[in-house]
Chain A
Amino acid sequence: MDVLTGWWDDYFWGALIVGKVFICSLGLMILFGLLGAMAKLSNSRVAQKIAGAYTVVFRGTPEILVILLLYFGSAIALTSIAQIFNPDIKFVDVPPFWAGTIAISIIVGSYATETFRGAFLGVNPGSIEAARALGMSDLQTFIYVRIPEMWRLALPPFGNHMLSLIKDTALISIIGLNETMFVAKQAITVTGKPFTMYIVVGAIYLGFSTIVTLFVMGVEKFGERTTIGAK
């Protein structure tokens, strides 16, 4: 274990970046998922088609390809825009952090779209009728009836999406994000102990997965506190 001396703090900062990517992409993933689900459930044909294409494309393409395309693609676009204003600029890129975060949240968001859509459809029609009968507006029904029923239904698959997000952060190291995989690579060039270094990375990710799993279990319990015995 003494080869690891001096690398713990690097791993800590790497893990912190994994956490940051996870938090940012979680928010974006929920946003993309909700937008996709709304589009699929809307009456507009065009919105349905766009959301359908979104899910088909991102569920059928390897994650690494999306990350590479978004990172290099946006760099080319930004560079050509920047060159209009200043022809001396050779290369501009989106920081790997944001390119990667956006890429994985788009990918997992396409899975979340289906989850949210199913959960919204699973809301008991009787509850909505009851809300109408009480004179609630559409917005009130959405906030007080649909959302509270929907998130309980969506939670188990949503927990799996959160785990995919955590694991997909490892892929962002490919475009040069200095997270744990990147730290391991540096440590290996110095110490020449690849197995030890990558096992540490694996252990860090296992820790993150465990935390997420326990968190989802806790929230699930919290969600059931008023429905125990009612089912």
Chain B
Amino acid sequence: MSFDFSLIAESLPLMLMGIGITFKLLVISGVLGFCLAVGLLLMRISGKWYLNFPAQVYIYVFRGTPILVQIFIIYYGLPQFEWIRDSVFWAVLREPTGCAILALTLNTGAYVSEILRGGVLGVGKGLLEAGSALGMSARQKFIYITTPIAARLALPAYSNDVISLLKSTALASTITIADMTGIARTIVADTYAPYEIFMSLAIIYMIFTFGLQKLFGVIERYLGRYSRREG
């Protein structure tokens, strides 16, 4: 059992070929998931039970089940129904990539909406009262007062969720997608050298995570530029 560095050098470029797919899964499902989360958030804070209740059930179900099960239900499960195979969605659901993006979107949307709700609930009552005193409508208060402050409050938790989304993209390899993990698993199946391959892949993911953390650090500093204490 020895560490084979030439094998790492050979397989590293192969694994990096999958970085595009990992990145694509992360960005598309991150953006779509965020839109879904905002929708769910608006439903939850609408104060109407027929909007609040379905959103709550949705969040409960998607946060209470493993993402792997969700991926399998969408990829292996949905084609069980004839009408899905005949519908327009089949173009997306036929492709494993489409399924993975759908599953990751639905999953991250549930988590992010709770994070955003935490931010919204953290906005000071006094500020909203000040808004009312200035004669702002509910919509104006939401856009000009709640949104900027809630974004600042929710950002640290949101950055953690983006990182766990990145880690979840690795599960796409279970439905035959050749992302970085998928390629690594193929190489390991051929060479049977799990240490070299998986460890170097772990380092790639860590660099990716580190980059995301730095990026969110910059955004956090930018959003907090007025609230930073002097000195």
Contact string against B for A residues 34-78, beta-carbon threshold 8 Å, 1 for contact and 0 otherwise: 000000000000000000000011011111111011001100110
Interchain CB contact under 8 A, B70 and A64? no
**Cβ of B194: which chain A residues have Cβ within 8 Å of it?**
68-69, 72-73, 76
Q: Which of B81, B163, B169, B209 contacts A195 (CB 8 A)?
A: B81
Partner of B65, one of A69, A171, A197, A202: A202
**Residues in B neighbouring A197, C-beta threshold 8 A:** 77
Q: Inside 8 A of B188's CB, which chain A residues have their CB?
A: 68, 72
Interface assignment of B61: CB less than 8 Å from any CB of chain A: yes
Contact B206 A64, beta carbon cutoff 8 Å:
no
Number of chain B residues whose Cβ lies closer than 8 Å to a Cβ of chain A: 44
Q: Which of B5-13, B122-130, B146-154, B195-203 contacts A (4 or more CB under 8 A)?
A: B195-203
Interface residue SS majority, chain A: helix
- Could you tell me which residues of chain B, from 160 to 219, have a CB within 8 Å of some CB in chain A? 163, 166-171, 173-174, 181, 184-185, 188, 192, 194-195, 198-199, 201-202, 205-206, 208-210
A57 in contact with B206 (CB, 8 Å): yes
The B-contacting residues of A in range 171-223, CB under 8 angstroms, are: 171, 173-174, 181, 184, 188, 192-199, 201-202, 205-206, 209-210
Within the complex, which residue of B64, B163, B192, B202 is in contact with A57, where a contact is CB–CB below 8 Å?
B202
Is the Cβ of B77 less than 8 Å from the Cβ of A199?
Answer: yes
Number of A-B pairs, beta carbon distance below 8 Å: 124
Query: Are A76 and B66 in contact, with the CB atoms below 8 A?
Result: no
- Expressed in whole angstroms, the minimum distance between the Cβ of A125 and any Cβ of chain B is 24
B166 to chain A, nearest CB (A): 8
Chain A residues within 8 Å of B134, by CB: none
Are B174 and A206 touching (Cβ within 8 A)? no
**Chain A residue contacts of B65, Cβ below 8 A:** 167, 202, 205-206, 209
B64, A206: Cβ atoms closer than 8 Å:
yes
**Set of chain B residues within 8 Å of A62, measured between Cβ atoms:** 166-171, 181, 205
Which B residue's beta carbon lies closest to that of A56? B206
The yes or no answer to B27 lying at the interface (CB within 8 A) is no
B43 to chain A, nearest CB (A): 21
Given contacts A69-B198, A76-B194, A167-B65, A64 and B171 within 8 Å (CB-CB): yes
Q: Is the CB of A60 within 8 A of B170?
A: no
Q: Check B1–A76 contact: CB distance below 8 A.
A: yes
How far apart are the CA atoms of A184 and B76 in the complex, in Å?
11
Q: Is A141 an interface residue (CB 8 A)?
A: no
Whether, in the assembled complex, B72 has its beta carbon less than 8 Å from a beta carbon of chain A, the answer is: yes
B contact residues vs A (CB 8 Å cutoff)? 1, 60-61, 63-70, 72-73, 76-81, 163, 166-171, 173-174, 181, 184-185, 188, 192, 194-195, 198-199, 201-202, 205-206, 208-210
Q: What are 27 sample pairs from A and B whose C-beta atoms fall under 8 A apart? A: A59-B163, A62-B168, A62-B171, A64-B173, A65-B184, A65-B198, A66-B202, A68-B194, A68-B198, A69-B198, A76-B195, A77-B1, A171-B171, A174-B68, A181-B68, A181-B69, A192-B80, A194-B72, A195-B77, A195-B81, A202-B65, A205-B65, A205-B66, A206-B64, A206-B65, A209-B64, A209-B65
